[in-house]
Structure 1
């Protein structure tokens, strides 16, 4: 094997634990202050803007790639160039309107916005909710209990949105339901991002996504909901999660898994369900893996003090059921899995401007601020080589590349020659302020497949680290595919902790057997 020091590597930032040290002013501070910092860092990171479309001439997904030279793709690129030029001219000319009569300035601005909307209509078409085409992935009985949902990023019209849905369906062999975050042109989309993440402004697609996810999570026939977010979709998904965390019962939230690519959000929430579990994860992480938490659920409310006297005087039909007569069920899980949302992962390129301005800035605390941002979920950063921002052409083609048969037909995800998934993992460095606030690597390793089952009983080392066992020095190189839970869903597969029976009924709520 070649010298591992010369091999490409992926930086891993383990999930935050949480606690009093996490004071996320990255999204709770005064909105105008946040906006000012966002604009400042936009220019600080502007060196990476050319990488958004780079490399432009690699087409691993063929016509599904955004820049593949088809008529529709060329039309989309042309329209975005026209919109960018017009919007830039509008922004430059806008201050000059102060010298015009009010009626003339208002009329000119209104005329431009109407024209911009009409041009964008050519890209967006009609409708907000779409599904992937059956030719890429049909609904299979073994996946009937799952629902996959996708929200896109900036500058994506209907054609590119459908290509995203079909590429995801082709990759994971499951139908994908999409909420279209319609484009208003690249520059106006960036302004919308600033409003969404600094003012918590919920646009129509945020509200539609919230309604849709809430309905699916309440569906007793669904035990798993996988939410995939790209770019601006990460901002919108983060807002939706905030709402869901405020309202939904946590046994429903535990059905949800979230995966982002090039995320532009400034925060991601996923609190622990119990304070003692959070403390144990921080102080004794290996003990937390093997400590089991058993919870008992009751079909009715338990009796409170004084209730029995009230019930004795009330009609039989109005009495509170006693604890002895209540139906109950229990579930056992590792303390290290004591989170409201089942699982969160983020994927980013180290040269992707949107990721640098979003997840890499806020999840890694590059400024070494003592006011640590709150960005939950493990983060994989492809640190070597170039990587753009387009979902299909850069992220999926680079991280989940497809293979073809002799006829040129796609036959699944490339496994053996997948450079990204075979890259060695190194722990990301980010300054003293982040010390001891991330989960132990053992927990990250055990939390990919069979989370909390105890299968990973020995300490796990990452690249460049060694340990001794019975006097023998051992070294284990951990690669991305060993830690990526999303990788376990490729080609219709599923994690080991999803083995039948996959559904456990609990008072009308379908859940995974391990939840």
Structure 2
């Protein structure tokens, strides 16, 4: 298989970086004038148009086929299970393509003949798909890859797969995630109907908002987990078409659940195919401040509050007077003034966790004052699905403030080292969260039973630098030279305060204090979970028990 021609550098990539960072949209000059709230036929027409615009990236859905760094867990590794799945998909592609081409011919046949042929075609397609799928919707990672540990008992990790993933690839995805983050992973299977039919299903799901059975099952499970006092975090990981399904689930959750429960939810996507991602602010005041001071919002709530005290004019809506709280009462999410809960007391102890503030950091939902705790998107700029989805919608600026925005910070990586494909394990996880390897031989390090040991502590993607700040995200696609774009970067920089201040002071001397370069690993919250670790924090509304486990205190 010959390599695809080298692509032109996408508009989303800066010429001097391998990875680009984009904060959540706020607004700006026109670059896109439609959204998921428009008429479905209009959305379908735009999807077809951009399908041909990004057609050059189609080969990168599978390319490169080597290396398969996760061995048997990589989708294109030459194992019997992978080869069988690929063979069935090839047959399905030929069958479905022939069926689509022959569809007009059915119009000239007698009705009963055409109906019989169509029924036979669907039965054969169903039988072949049965070889890939199973009857189950719920899957679990194998315990040998990540046994359940007491310190993670308050977390629930959930994954929805993407296009063309049958039961075998679904299990491989779950096991690879379990090895990487050392937690058991619950999978909700988005069953495949063959690649071409899966693409048709994607168009129907994202343009008509149609929820398939796995969407409904996953919504029910997430809702139950969020209401369960046992869990302080629900980590939702999505790939490809799973991003479309996840966006529908978030819409339902935002309509129904109390926001203190939604703050327990964190969402991470790879090669996201969705056309929208919602996560509203809790208060208009915090949204206004984030627009006015995007860099302050990107660092911490204290800096944002100081900006408000110095320069923010009073808002027009009435502000409720904060009531007095007893010393034993946990702080609520908001203080009734600026929408951000204070996390300090006069004695320097976090009022929620009881831990000194020097060892804790605020939860992302309190930092940004958004309903859902945290959202991150990871994408390759040569991945057709990402270009058609997250990179198209999240990096374009809406033409009107009434157009819904694609929320969540985006890490867009160019095809560094030729690894710019779409497969969850072979391209995304192997490139962004590679496994531990022998430094001399390069062989995959394995433990008992031949299980890979875990994520490598250093890799090219996480060590790459991105620019955070007002100047770093200007003149994106659709912008004009010299036009300043407001971009909300609701991002927690992990363990970086002294370094960040030093870098900002250097930049300030150059008259550019609103920009700072940091490494991806200092921005990526998901990186903080590698190998069983966790971000050092106690979310608002949660308490840390005598055993050190954080539990829900909102019920």
- Asked if these proteins are the same fold (TM beyond 0.5), I'd say yes
2:408 aligns with one of 377, 393, 406:
377
Matches within 5 A, 1:10-409: 10-17=19-26, 25-285=34-294, 289-290=301-302, 291=304, 329-331=330-332, 332-333=341-342, 336-365=367-396, 369=399, 374-385=405-416, 386=418, 387-404=420-437, 408-409=445-446
User: How far apart are residue 365 of structure 1 and its match?
Assistant: 1.2
Question: CA deviation digits over 1:42-63, x for unaligned, max 9?
Answer: 1111110001111101111010
User: How far apart are residue 20 of structure 1 and its match?
Assistant: 13
Task: Kindly indicate whether residue 487 of structure 2 is the aligned counterpart of residue 438 of structure 1.
Answer: yes
SS of equivalent to 1:478: strand
Q: Which runs of 5+ in 1 are unaligned?
A: 294-322
Residues 73 and 86 (structure 1), Cα distance of their counterparts in 2 relative to 1, 3 Å cut: same
The CA distance in 2 between the partners of 1:369 and 1:459, in whole Å, is 37
Aligned 8 A contact 1:255 1:511 in 2 = no
The CA distance in 1 between the partners of 2:409 and 2:290, in whole Å, is 15
SS of equivalent to 1:12: strand
Question: CA deviation digits over 1:71-105, x for unaligned, max 9?
Answer: 11000000000000000000000011110111111
Aligned 8 A contact 2:159 2:188 in 1 = yes
Between 15-24 and 142-151, report the one with greater CA deviation: 15-24
User: How far apart are residue 486 of structure 1 and its match?
Assistant: 0.4
Residues 266 and 456 (structure 1), Cα distance of their counterparts in 2 relative to 1, 3 Å cut: farther
Residues 8 and 282 (structure 1), Cα distance of their counterparts in 2 relative to 1, 3 Å cut: closer
2:537 aligns with one of 494, 497, 504:
497
Aligned 8 A contact 1:264 1:359 in 2 = yes
Residues 460 and 340 (structure 1), Cα distance of their counterparts in 2 relative to 1, 3 Å cut: farther
Aligned 8 A contact 2:32 2:399 in 1 = no
Residues 81 and 166 (structure 1), Cα distance of their counterparts in 2 relative to 1, 3 Å cut: same
Aligned 8 A contact 1:19 1:278 in 2 = no
1:422 aligns with one of 453, 463, 469:
463
Residues 50 and 128 (structure 1), Cα distance of their counterparts in 2 relative to 1, 3 Å cut: same
The CA distance in 2 between the partners of 1:396 and 1:490, in whole Å, is 12
User: How far apart are residue 498 of structure 1 and its match?
Assistant: 4.5
Question: CA deviation digits over 1:22-74, x for unaligned, max 9?
Answer: 99832000001101111111111111000111110111101000010011100
The CA distance in 2 between the partners of 1:389 and 1:407, in whole Å, is 22
SS of equivalent to 2:24: coil
Q: Which runs of 5+ in 2 are unaligned?
A: 1-13, 307-323, 333-340, 343-361, 447-451
Question: CA deviation digits over 1:304-346, x for unaligned, max 9?
Answer: xxxxxxxxxxxxxxxxxxx999x96423357642000000000
Residues 262 and 49 (structure 1), Cα distance of their counterparts in 2 relative to 1, 3 Å cut: same
The CA distance in 2 between the partners of 1:271 and 1:177, in whole Å, is 27
Residues 475 and 202 (structure 1), Cα distance of their counterparts in 2 relative to 1, 3 Å cut: closer
SS of equivalent to 1:194: helix
Query: Which structure shows the bigger proportion of residues in strand conformation?
Result: 1
Between 491-500 and 157-166, report the one with greater CA deviation: 491-500
The TM-score with structure 2 as length reference comes to 0.77
1:316 is aligned to none
User: How far apart are residue 374 of structure 1 and its match?
Assistant: 1.1
Aligned 8 A contact 1:217 1:253 in 2 = yes
1:458 is aligned to 501
Aligned 8 A contact 2:27 2:485 in 1 = no
SS of equivalent to 1:497: coil
SS of equivalent to 1:257: strand
Aligned 8 A contact 1:398 1:420 in 2 = yes
SS of equivalent to 1:411: coil
User: How far apart are residue 238 of structure 1 and its match?
Assistant: 0.2
User: How far apart are residue 412 of structure 1 and its match?
Assistant: 2.1
Residues 384 and 49 (structure 1), Cα distance of their counterparts in 2 relative to 1, 3 Å cut: closer
Residues 105 and 64 (structure 1), Cα distance of their counterparts in 2 relative to 1, 3 Å cut: same
Count of matched residue pairs: 465
The CA distance in 1 between the partners of 2:421 and 2:377, in whole Å, is 15
Aligned 8 A contact 1:14 1:378 in 2 = yes
Residues 24 and 178 (structure 1), Cα distance of their counterparts in 2 relative to 1, 3 Å cut: farther
1:307 is aligned to none
SS of equivalent to 2:537: helix
SS of equivalent to 2:460: coil
User: How far apart are residue 401 of structure 1 and its match?
Assistant: 0.3
User: How far apart are residue 501 of structure 1 and its match?
Assistant: 12
User: How far apart are residue 381 of structure 1 and its match?
Assistant: 0.4
1:485 aligns with one of 525, 532, 536:
525
SS of equivalent to 2:453: strand
SS of equivalent to 2:52: helix
Question: CA deviation digits over 1:101-152, x for unaligned, max 9?
Answer: 1111112111111110110000002200011001000111111100000000
SS of equivalent to 1:27: coil
